[in-house]
Structure 1
Amino acid sequence: MAERRVAPAFAPAVTAAAAGATTDAVLRTTTAGASRAVPGGFRRGQKILLVGEGNFSFALALALGLGSGDSIVATAFDTFREARDKYPTAVETNVAVLQRLGCRPLFGVDASRLASDPAVASALLEAQTGEASSSARLPAFDRIVFNFPHTGGATTADIKRNQALLRDFLAQAALLLKTPVDKRAKSLDPEAEAALAAAMLMGRRI
């Protein structure tokens, strides 16, 4: 993604208290219709990683649909302060409800370094297990979702940066899948390898 290094960080716990009245209202009106499965092939109990969240509305909709956020690791490239500045009301409210549902949103997560950056991998593992760990073990997920991946801009250089983002994300995500990417990818050219990884991430049969 953009050329910067930011340490991953969880949303402050005080966020949930700050939006308490709103979170209670959202939970009362939405969790009653929760189910164990939602459109897109998501099911409760699956370990799900979301990257590139903006105001965490997708993460919230998924958690509410499943009736729980404890198996969801939701992350954003922005820091908490950057996200709050962009979406003043939505971020605090959405993050607060996610926290109440058992999800601990992470900020400052670069989708192109999910497995290769020890700080990112460690934060993802902590978000998944609820425990800090110095282990080099990588977290494992059933589903990995990157909605609207885009670095911004429309110049030739911007397009190349976006292509690099997608290529790096798919390579990193493949390392975090419970079901390994097909070994045939090893002998494919980069574009075919990326397409195969994308299909595997979406749960399609090859």
Structure 2
Amino acid sequence: MLPRRLLLVGEGNFSFAASLIDGLDPSVSVTATGFQHRAALEGDPVALENLKRLRERGVEVRFGVDCTQLSHALPADDRDFDRIYFNFPHCGRKAGVAKNRELLAKFFQRQEKSM
């Protein structure tokens, strides 16, 4: 059975999302989210090109989304996803292993309660 709705969390410059949509059936609905706000990506030509491709394909893009607080970013009636992808979970370059583990623990704990 093909997935109908996909949620992508933790997108950086939206490269994963832009690559993924090339191989998806056009009927699959994709919501791509990133922690950064749109303004933070303005100086990144790769991110801007990826966002353009996503919008042309009809992908919903949300900025400023904390993956440990998805219930704040997604209304209760908009949380029915077939798959959730967290392609490269990390807190940043110098966060360290402990912080990254904490991020993943919070992500999974919150999804059990809210999704």
Q: What TM bracket, shorter-length normalisation?
A: 0.7 to 0.9
Q: Which residue of 2 aligns with 1:47?
A: 5
When normalised by structure 1's length, the TM-score is 0.49
Return the offset for 1:49: 0.4
Over the aligned positions, Cα root-mean-square deviation in angstroms equals 2.2
Counterpart position of 2:106: 168
Distance 1:149 1:59 in 2: 14
Measure the CA separation in 1 of the matches of 2:27 and 2:63: 16
- Does residue 103 of structure 2 align to residue 103 of structure 1? no
| 1:143 aligned onto 2:96 | no
1:141 shift after superposition: 0.8
Equivalent residue pairs, number:
113
In structure 2, the gaps of 5 or more residues are none
Q: In structure 2, how many angstroms separate the alpha carbons of the residues matched to 1:101 and 1:67?
A: 11
Contact 2:34/2:64 (8 A) holds in 1: yes
**Contact 1:63/1:69 (CA < 8 Å) preserved in 2?**
no
Paired residue secondary structure (2:77): coil
Is the CA contact 1:70–1:102 (under 8 Å) kept in the aligned structure 2? no
Displacement of 1:111 after TM fit? Answer: 0.5
C-alpha distance in structure 2 between counterparts of 1:142 and 1:111, whole Å = 17
Aligned to 1:133: none
Specify the SS of the correspondent of 2:12.
coil
Structure ranking higher on relative contact order (CA contacts 8 Å, 6+ apart): 2
Listed as ranges, the gaps of 5+ residues in structure 1 are 1-41, 123-135, 177-206
Partner of 1:89: 45
Normalised by the size of structure 2, how large is the TM-score?
A: 0.83
2:6 and 2:28 in contact (8 A); partners too: no
Q: Report runs of 4+ in structure 1 exceeding 3 Å deviation.
A: none
Establish whether residue 66 from structure 1 lines up as the match of residue 13 from structure 2: no
Distance of aligned partners of 1:51 and 1:108 in 2 relative to their CA distance in 1, 3 Å threshold = same
Q: Which has the larger radius of gyration?
A: 1
3-state SS, counterpart of residue 48 of structure 1: strand
Residue 101 of structure 1 aligns with an amino acid whose one-letter code is R
